[in-house]
Structure 1
Amino acid sequence: MKSITKADLVKFANRFYGENYVVAYKHIGEDPNRHKVEKPKITPIVVNRDVESEFVTEFKKMESSAMTPKFLDFEKDISKAKLSSGIPFNYVHNKYNNTFTLTYIYDIGTFHDKEMALAFQYLPLLGTDKYTAEELQKEMYALGLSFNVSAGDKRSSVSLSGLEESLEEGMKLLEHIISSVEPDQQKYDEFVNDILKKRMDNKRNKRTILFRGLVSRAKFGENSPFTYNFSEIELKSMDVNKLASKVHSMTGYDHRVFYYGSKEMDEAKKIVEKHHRTEEQLAQVGDPVEFPERDINEGEIYFADYDMVQAEIILVAKDEKFNKELLPYSLVFNEYFGSGLSSIVFQEIREQKALAYSAYSVFRAPEEKDDSHYIYAYVGTQADKLGDAIKEIKRLLNDMPEVEEQFQGSKESAIKKLETDWITKASIYWSFESAKRRGLDYDVRKDNYDVVKGMEMEDLRNFFNDHIKGKDYALCVIGSKDNVDFDVLGEYGTVKELSLEEIFNY
């Protein structure tokens, strides 16, 4: 490529880019000459699940070596100690390279303090009494470091990552940022403009409207985690000095430290103790705002108008509170019934009856021990097939076809995933954090693996009958009011149309 000259490029362009082209023009507006094709009658095909091609037969004969699953032992894989200040210090050794990640974890988020969560997001844009924001970025870059923040619903964190040799200098800089950050009105105004731009984008995104907005409305009602946010007026009138003070106050809240790196634990701990500033008396975080999960009733239909030819539906049903005993069954159920091209839902709705361009169903476990499991079933279809698609997905959710060979394939797939899902590096600690939120103190995947290996079709049938069949499902629907037949939709319950303002609360 170094030998190519400008003259060579000109010669190439003259040779290949002549009059041999086609121009396509796209005009805005309705085409008065378009012709509507009448919907043809679809004849369902017979799904011959008991027949396989010669290629599949030969493929199955190929042997594959099974991997030995590797599960975590939190007591061995994570070293725990306390800093001299009493703050918990968690350590995972990096045996792969000379990099590190140091994270301060706070059990405080939007649900506890919306202003604090906003301050976390605002923090990376600010400078200090010593550096501008741009100078801080240059200092970090020169040290081979990066600085990140995360503000969630119930947890927030500040992390420093990069070259192990820069840990100590990086900590000095990080602690300086937290203690000496200064407000900047102009940066805040730009920050707010970005938030408002994202909100406009969310209102144009049909997946956000359906999967987050309408589903949240079905699960929680009007007051939900999805709608818990600042108004535009509140954002624009926020006191930036107050946000800076929120950042400074981080040193006074109870938290924990996680270090992943190549230094030995004692050495890393000494460096953190030397530079990590905290108040003598750490404040405990108050209780978060609660969003009770509501009971879902059959016949609830939530509709959002959107300019689209198709229509998309999600059926939502609530099951029991988190139960670890359900996890292995949900793994096989999701493989067999609702996930992938070989699943029952996809084959029955899309392949056999041509009622959808996409269809799936999933039994989802919560992240918190006090939250519930939920069943979701999605169908993306043509608006004129909406009624037939709803009828078919509801039939399947109450009558699961049983195909032994397909079950065995799904079971084997679940086993393979557990065998190959090796959790390593910093993810070891984050798996521990996830387990704690579910009230567990060990890696539950070992239990899942043992149960799945011994599972039979009868076990899956019992799981389906107890946790899927006969549930009250709410319908969340997005589509164009001009294309959706509300008489057909009304056959399944009472339709409540929601505006974008009602869905997003902004």
Structure 2
Amino acid sequence: KKTQKENLESNPKRVELLRDSFLSFVEWEVMDQEIQVLEKVTKEDVVRVANKYFGEDYVVGFRVDQQHVLPSIEKPKIDPLEIDPDKQSAFMKEVEEIPFNPFEPDFIESGKDFVSKEIADGITLVHVSNPLNDLFGIEVRMGIGSDHEPMLPYLKRMLSRSGAGEISSEDLKIEWYKLATDFGFAVRQHYSSFSLNGLDENFEESLDLVEKHLLSPTLLSDTWEKTKEILLSERDDEQKDPRALSNALAHFHRYGQNSRFRKRPSDADLNASTPQNLGTLITDLLAVNRTILYFGPRSVEEIEKTILEGMIGQKPTKETPPFSPDRSFQASKNQVYFLQKEMAQAQVRLEFAVGTYEEEMTPLAQLYNEYFGGGMAGLVFQELREARALAYSAWAHFFTPSRPTEENILVGAIGCQADKTIEAVNAFMELLDNMPINQTRWESAYSSILSTYRTNPSKSRSIPGFVFDYNALGLQEDPRKNRYQKIQKVQIDDLKNFYEQKIQPQSILVSIVGDSDKIDLQELEKIGKVTAIRPEELFRR
């Protein structure tokens, strides 16, 4: 019931329901009444159908941790394609000639779309009314994250297995199910949060249950011991997983010993942890400043009153700890970190930092992303995958940070056949060093980014989090309005200047996980000084 109501808030989900109705030859009236019909189904009905259709058959799969021997296939010769961005098919021309009136973008405003207020010292409420149904969502963000307390991700694992007071772990899941409420606990770099999503009729009961869960988590020692075994096994697996290795290698190249994989708790720390000492972290979280994000049918006055009467309305007793942003290694020239792993593909990352956050630069960064890395139409995908068949996957993105003192970082990634690694990296670096500026490609990127602003208004459910995010950047109003106005005035020369000043001069950190039997390391030296890295250097154990 809750899921269907939530799905009907979204146009894509509405279309999916219409599609399913059509493809299933089910009248819309019948599809629309599905929940009312299911509410009449009894437990006896479910048992009867299960006994009738589900027999004793079962399938078991076993994982064998061994090297898979692949058959040898002769590599075909593939001629590169000449992609002319100025050419246009007759069909595309016909589509573009269809007259239309462009949408005007919709930006959110305080007082109209949301209310943000400090309801007590250190407690901020962002309230958005739900205009569609009786569902609520509430999230409490507390100013301590994994960078402040590395054990917090393991608190999350503990909470997922714990009970609440006298309620066992299994029964707690049943209680959440009865209330039709989803409980979630998340740990981010800057903050931790817990959230509830459900039916408004069960709002108070859901708050009472989450209070009991957080203030009185119960977990048998045996259960936590088994959980620690699973966590340690996951750590063993990550040293064999190419994607995990690639991610850790890039972070190590970027931050060295400050990589999040190096700053995490050791195996000894994890083994020494208990449900009791992890539980004390909840007290620390609830002691600092917090922001409460609410979306639902109740008024701001009702929610404020309910909050201040409960656990999440208690006055903070500690200052939020300061956050120290990491700084990327600034190489004077290109350099390569290489991790040897026997595998058919190579995983490649190319990265560099570009100063710290500047709001004035964001519109141009968005345009650059659309032009250079914009999905299948972007320069990287078109040149590396489509034109030259050098990669299975290729993308790039200029990431702007979530806090004012953090860095902008350009990240490029390639997944390719190991024997094409050198060629693929050289082709990617050529795009970074000498990016072609084409008028037709520019016009496509420019119109695409304007269309994104016009056709993607902030949905009501996402507004509280969006307000929190731009406040965290030190902004007081929806930044998209100013960005949109600036983009409308941008010319192709502005993109060229952005590229020449921010991208072209940078030295590149290249991180490769691949098989040295298929990758010529001497050729790799021509790209930059190669440093061999072992998996055990990447992870704290």
2:439 corresponds, among 404, 417, 437, to 404
Q: CA deviation at 1:147?
A: 1.9
Offset from partner CA, 1:102-124 (integer Å, 9 cap, x none): 22221001222234553344223
DSSP-derived class of the 1:73 partner: coil
Q: Which residue of the partner structure matches residue 122 of structure 1?
A: 158
Q: Which residue of the partner structure matches residue 52 of structure 1?
A: 88
Structure 2 residue 136 is matched with structure 1 residue 100:
yes
Q: Could you say if the C-alpha distance between residues 277 and 61 of structure 1 is closer, same or farther in structure 2, counting changes exceeding 3 Å?
A: closer
Code of the residue aligned with 1:321 in structure 2: it is T
Structure 2 residue 308 is matched with structure 1 residue 273:
yes
Q: CA deviation at 1:462?
A: 0.9
Q: CA deviation at 1:143?
A: 2.3
1:163 corresponds, among 199, 205, 209, to 199
Q: Which residue of the partner structure matches residue 136 of structure 1?
A: 172
Q: Could you say if the C-alpha distance between residues 170 and 497 of structure 1 is closer, same or farther in structure 2, counting changes exceeding 3 Å?
A: same
Is contact 2:139–2:292 with CA below 8 Å preserved after alignment? yes
Q: CA deviation at 1:440?
A: 1.6
Q: Which residue of the partner structure matches residue 254 of structure 1?
A: 289
Q: CA deviation at 1:288?
A: 4.3
- For residues 394 and 295 of structure 1, the distance between their equivalents in structure 2, rounded to whole angstroms, comes to 17
Q: CA deviation at 1:38?
A: 6.4
Q: Could you say if the C-alpha distance between residues 253 and 342 of structure 1 is closer, same or farther in structure 2, counting changes exceeding 3 Å?
A: closer
Code of the residue aligned with 1:158 in structure 2: it is F
The number of equivalent residue pairs is 479
Structure 2 residue 486 is matched with structure 1 residue 451:
yes
2:228 corresponds, among 189, 192, 200, to 192
1:37 corresponds, among 74, 82, 105, to 74
Offset from partner CA, 1:375-401 (integer Å, 9 cap, x none): 223333333333332322222212221
Q: Which residue of the partner structure matches residue 435 of structure 1?
A: 470
Offset from partner CA, 1:171-209 (integer Å, 9 cap, x none): 222222222223421222233233234334433332232
Q: CA deviation at 1:312?
A: 3.1
- For residues 188 and 346 of structure 1, the distance between their equivalents in structure 2, rounded to whole angstroms, comes to 45
Moved more, 68-77 or 154-163: 68-77
Q: Which residue of the partner structure matches residue 425 of structure 1?
A: 460
2:148 corresponds, among 108, 112, 115, to 112
Code of the residue aligned with 2:378 in structure 1: it is S
Offset from partner CA, 1:287-331 (integer Å, 9 cap, x none): 346533332332321112222223232221221211112221122
Q: CA deviation at 1:270?
A: 1.7
Moved more, 347-356 or 223-232: 347-356
DSSP-derived class of the 1:208 partner: helix
Q: CA deviation at 1:39?
A: 6.5
DSSP-derived class of the 2:401 partner: coil
Q: Could you say if the C-alpha distance between residues 115 and 350 of structure 1 is closer, same or farther in structure 2, counting changes exceeding 3 Å?
A: closer
Code of the residue aligned with 1:132 in structure 2: it is S
- For residues 175 and 247 of structure 1, the distance between their equivalents in structure 2, rounded to whole angstroms, comes to 11
Is contact 2:294–2:464 with CA below 8 Å preserved after alignment? no
1:299 corresponds, among 306, 320, 334, to 334
Q: Could you say if the C-alpha distance between residues 128 and 402 of structure 1 is closer, same or farther in structure 2, counting changes exceeding 3 Å?
A: closer
- For residues 255 and 390 of structure 1, the distance between their equivalents in structure 2, rounded to whole angstroms, comes to 45
- For residues 472 and 539 of structure 2, the distance between their equivalents in structure 1, rounded to whole angstroms, comes to 27
DSSP-derived class of the 2:155 partner: helix
Offset from partner CA, 1:61-85 (integer Å, 9 cap, x none): 2234422211122454321344467
Structure 2 residue 490 is matched with structure 1 residue 416:
no
Is contact 1:183–1:244 with CA below 8 Å preserved after alignment? no
Q: Could you say if the C-alpha distance between residues 405 and 391 of structure 1 is closer, same or farther in structure 2, counting changes exceeding 3 Å?
A: same
Code of the residue aligned with 1:106 in structure 2: it is M
- For residues 252 and 426 of structure 2, the distance between their equivalents in structure 1, rounded to whole angstroms, comes to 23
1:480 corresponds, among 515, 529, 533, to 515
Is contact 2:372–2:379 with CA below 8 Å preserved after alignment? yes
- For residues 304 and 56 of structure 1, the distance between their equivalents in structure 2, rounded to whole angstroms, comes to 45
Q: Which residue of the partner structure matches residue 254 of structure 2?
A: 219
Q: CA deviation at 1:491?
A: 1.2
Is contact 1:112–1:286 with CA below 8 Å preserved after alignment? yes
Code of the residue aligned with 1:177 in structure 2: it is H
Is contact 1:218–1:316 with CA below 8 Å preserved after alignment? no
- For residues 393 and 120 of structure 1, the distance between their equivalents in structure 2, rounded to whole angstroms, comes to 39
Q: Which residue of the partner structure matches residue 382 of structure 2?
A: 347
Structure 2 residue 285 is matched with structure 1 residue 235:
no
Code of the residue aligned with 2:89 in structure 1: it is S
Percent of aligned pairs with the same amino acid: 24
- For residues 376 and 122 of structure 2, the distance between their equivalents in structure 1, rounded to whole angstroms, comes to 52
Question: Any stretches of 5+ residues in structure 2 without a counterpart?
Answer: 1-23, 25-52, 54-65
Offset from partner CA, 1:37-57 (integer Å, 9 cap, x none): 3664x6544333333222222
Structure 2 residue 319 is matched with structure 1 residue 284:
yes
Moved more, 199-208 or 267-276: 199-208
Is contact 2:123–2:315 with CA below 8 Å preserved after alignment? no
- For residues 359 and 228 of structure 2, the distance between their equivalents in structure 1, rounded to whole angstroms, comes to 41
Moved more, 216-225 or 118-127: 118-127
Code of the residue aligned with 1:131 in structure 2: it is I
Q: CA deviation at 1:342?
A: 2.9
Structure 2 residue 411 is matched with structure 1 residue 359:
no
Moved more, 313-322 or 111-120: 111-120
DSSP-derived class of the 1:341 partner: helix
Code of the residue aligned with 1:417 in structure 2: it is T
Q: Which residue of the partner structure matches residue 106 of structure 2?
A: 70
1:374 corresponds, among 381, 393, 409, to 409
Q: CA deviation at 1:417?
A: 1.0
Question: Any stretches of 5+ residues in structure 1 without a counterpart?
Answer: 2-8, 10-26
DSSP-derived class of the 2:163 partner: coil
- For residues 147 and 172 of structure 1, the distance between their equivalents in structure 2, rounded to whole angstroms, comes to 12
Offset from partner CA, 1:263-298 (integer Å, 9 cap, x none): 112122222222336655611233346533332332
Offset from partner CA, 1:351-383 (integer Å, 9 cap, x none): 444433333332221222111112223333333
Is contact 1:362–1:375 with CA below 8 Å preserved after alignment? yes
- For residues 36 and 125 of structure 1, the distance between their equivalents in structure 2, rounded to whole angstroms, comes to 47
Offset from partner CA, 1:451-474 (integer Å, 9 cap, x none): 222222111111111111121111
- For residues 401 and 182 of structure 1, the distance between their equivalents in structure 2, rounded to whole angstroms, comes to 60
Is contact 2:419–2:519 with CA below 8 Å preserved after alignment? yes
- For residues 232 and 346 of structure 1, the distance between their equivalents in structure 2, rounded to whole angstroms, comes to 40
DSSP-derived class of the 1:496 partner: strand
- For residues 35 and 274 of structure 1, the distance between their equivalents in structure 2, rounded to whole angstroms, comes to 69
- For residues 419 and 398 of structure 2, the distance between their equivalents in structure 1, rounded to whole angstroms, comes to 28
Structure 1 stretches (4+) deviating beyond 6 angstroms? none
DSSP-derived class of the 1:320 partner: strand
Q: Which residue of the partner structure matches residue 496 of structure 2?
A: 461
DSSP-derived class of the 1:373 partner: strand
- For residues 172 and 502 of structure 2, the distance between their equivalents in structure 1, rounded to whole angstroms, comes to 53
DSSP-derived class of the 2:264 partner: coil
Is contact 1:225–1:291 with CA below 8 Å preserved after alignment? no
Code of the residue aligned with 2:438 in structure 1: it is V
